[in-house]
Amino acid sequence: MQPLDDIRVLCVTVYLAGPFCAMNLARLGADVIKVEIPGRGDPVRGNGPFTGANGTHVQRQSDDDLSTRFLKRTQGVKSVTLDLKHPRGKEMFLQLAKESDVVLENLAPGSLRRIGLGYDDVSRVNPGIVYASISGYGQTGPYADKPAHDPQIQGMSGLMDINGDADGPPTKVGFYIGDLVTPLFTCYAILAALREKDRTGLGQYLDV
């Protein structure tokens, strides 16, 4: 028995921050379903090293080889393919969301809202949904649409200015601090929102 055994999470997550959050929820027992786009799926599927029947290599040796980075970031997570821009794909997503407790996404701000799958759309079919969005600068404001990979966030936060040598240039921290810490705070927020849902029956939107 795990803490989130009765919780289902529907996620549209790519690269690191979103998948790391989803994986941690899966480790707590949640049933996590990752929605990927047709054709290539999460872009990390194309990043090496790759592993398969012939061992592990920097370059893909076979179409059956899998990215070790992708495997590492999706432990305990199920994957499905849906074309979210197609009416049938949107219908299936909303049906899954209706049967879920959490929707988690880390696409560019507004991406799901623009195709009719934002918080307002999902909460109409499931008022109890906890809908969490991870982004670099939030969903609104003057920086919302700016690039927000980990190096940019380290620079914008001022962290690079206090790292490195005293008389040297701003220096990036040696690991993906933004992409690894933000998902943990998102997990905390999701757990708190689920507790609030237990008391009120209502979901909420989390902008992290």
Catalogue the active-site residues.
179
Token code pair at residue 62: 């076979």
Contact 206, 133 (CB under 8 A): yes
Contact 95, 10 (CB under 8 A): no
Token code pair at residue 90: 């949107």
Exposure of 17 in the CB half-sphere (CA atoms within 13 A): 24
* Helix, strand, or coil (residue 179): helix
Q: How far apart are CA 204 and CA 139, in angstroms?
A: 15
Instruction: Give the length of the chain.
Output: 208
- Please report, for residues 32, 86, 152, the alpha-carbon distance to residue 26 in angstroms, rounded to integers and kept in the order given: 6, 28, 29
